[in-house]
Amino acid sequence: MAQRLRRLQTSVAIAAMIVAGPLGNVLLGKGMRHLHPALWPPPALLATAQAVFVSPFIWLGIASLIAFFVAYMLALSWADYSYVQPASSLAYGVVALLSALLLGEQVTPLRWAGIAVICLGVFVVGRTGHKTTERTPLA
Amino acid sequence: MRDLLLFTLIVVAGTGGELCVSRAMKAVGEAPGFRPAQVARVLLRAVRVPWMWAGVAMMATGFFALLGALSRYNVSFVVPVTALSYVAGAFGSAAFLHERVSAARWLGVTLVALGVTLVFLGHS
């Protein structure tokens, strides 16, 4: 029972990661688009920082990434990194979908194919055995 | 050159940060559930683990590099390219942590690299 609840909680946390992470990236992309950041001289850096941090899209993106991060921490407390990582590989597909739908980006077929291969690769990486070295617990 | 630096920072700082956070969460232990009080307790314990701070610092660096990259390129280009962190992770763990990277993992890493190559080729 407790085990089933854990698994359900882990699935919910991973689902939240798959939505919140890509959404955060898309919002950041929306906020940064058409901005020409300069880091030098200092007044230009100040202007860049100001432009970045008055954008509502940047703040929504940051909020979304914080939600992603909390879900990620919860998932990692319940499951191994090597389980969470392949499960979250779908996020690469979601990010392309959202950037096409919300930002109107032209995603070429070749890019879709690349993203599909990346998802597959991430999945294969995560399915491989973990813990090939002995480690001592943190004191 | 500048783009290379941006993507390298995203990949290296991002992966290093994740590994530190992962290590910190193992020290914190299991979260009891989703309720705000429970989540808050986990967060409060997490901020007392030094690995968490190292991880957050690296992830913040990666974040600003990501902002820089997003100001120049499409989201659907930048995010897939950051998948190169899996390639970096495999080489890093083999070279610096002396972990044995299995053939299956190299296969996955090769697929990721192939996918990123396709994304680059589809970059119009």
Q: Give residue A117's pLDDT.
A: 95
Percent of chain A topping pLDDT 90: 51
Contact check, Cβ <8 Å, B30/A32: no
User: Do residues A94 and B82 make contact, with C-beta atoms less than 8 angstroms apart?
Assistant: no
Mean pLDDT of chain B: 86
**pTM of the full predicted structure?**
0.80
Residue of higher predicted confidence among A131 and A21: A21
pLDDT in tens, A46-81: 888 888 889 999 999 999 999 998 998 888 888 887
Confirm whether A102 is domain-assigned.
yes
Residue-averaged pLDDT of chain A = 86
For B62-120, the pLDDT digits (tens) are 989 999 999 999 999 999 999 898 887 787 677 766 778 888 889 999 999 999 999 98
- Domain tally, chain A: 1
- Between B92 and B9, the more confident residue is B9
Q: How far is B60 from chain A (nearest CA, A)?
A: 11
Give me the helices (H) in chain A, please.
2-32, 42-53, 56-78, 81-87, 91-103, 109-127
Return d(Cα B37, Cα A8) in angstroms, integer: 20
pLDDT at residue A42, rounded to an integer: 83
Contact call for A113 and B23, based on CB within 8 A: no
Chain B residues near residue A47 by CB distance under 8 angstroms: none
Angle at CA of residue A98, ends A80 and A67, nearest 5°: 45
pLDDT value, residue A115: 94
Q: Of residues B53 and B39, which shows the higher confidence score?
A: B53
ipTM, 2 dp: 0.81
pLDDT at B23: 78
Q: Report pLDDT for B78.
A: 94
B28–A125 C-beta distance less than 8 A: no
Contact between residue B18 and residue B55 where contact means Cβ atoms under 8 Å apart: yes
Domain range enclosing A104: 2-127
Minimal Cβ distance to B75: which of A25, A76, A81 = A25
Check residues A135 and A30 and name the one with the higher pLDDT.
A30
Q: Which chain B residues are Cβ-neighbours of A111 within 8 angstroms?
A: 76-77, 80, 118-119, 122-123
Closest CA to A81 of B75, B39, B85, B79: B85
Residues of A in contact with B85 (CB under 8 A): none
Instruction: Answer whether A37 sits within 8 Å of B31, measured CB to CB.
Output: no
**Chain A residues closer than 8 Å to B39 by CB:** 70, 74
Tell me the per-residue pLDDT of A89-107, one tens digit each, with 9 for 90 and over: 889 999 999 999 999 999 9
Is residue A44 assigned to a domain? yes
Examine residue A137 and state whether it is found in any structural domain, yes or no: no
pLDDT > 70 in chain A, percent: 91
Give me the pLDDT at residue A137, please: 52
On whether residue A6 sits in a domain, the answer given is yes
pLDDT(B1) > 90: no
How far apart (Å, rounded) are the C-alpha atoms in residues A95 and A107? 11
Residues of B in contact with A35 (CB under 8 A): 71
pLDDT given at position B116: 92
Cα separations in angstroms, B87 against A15, A87, B45, B80, B123: 25, 18, 32, 13, 20
Q: What is the pLDDT of residue A139?
A: 42
Res A129 pLDDT > 60: no
Distance from A14 to chain B by nearest Cα, in Å? 13
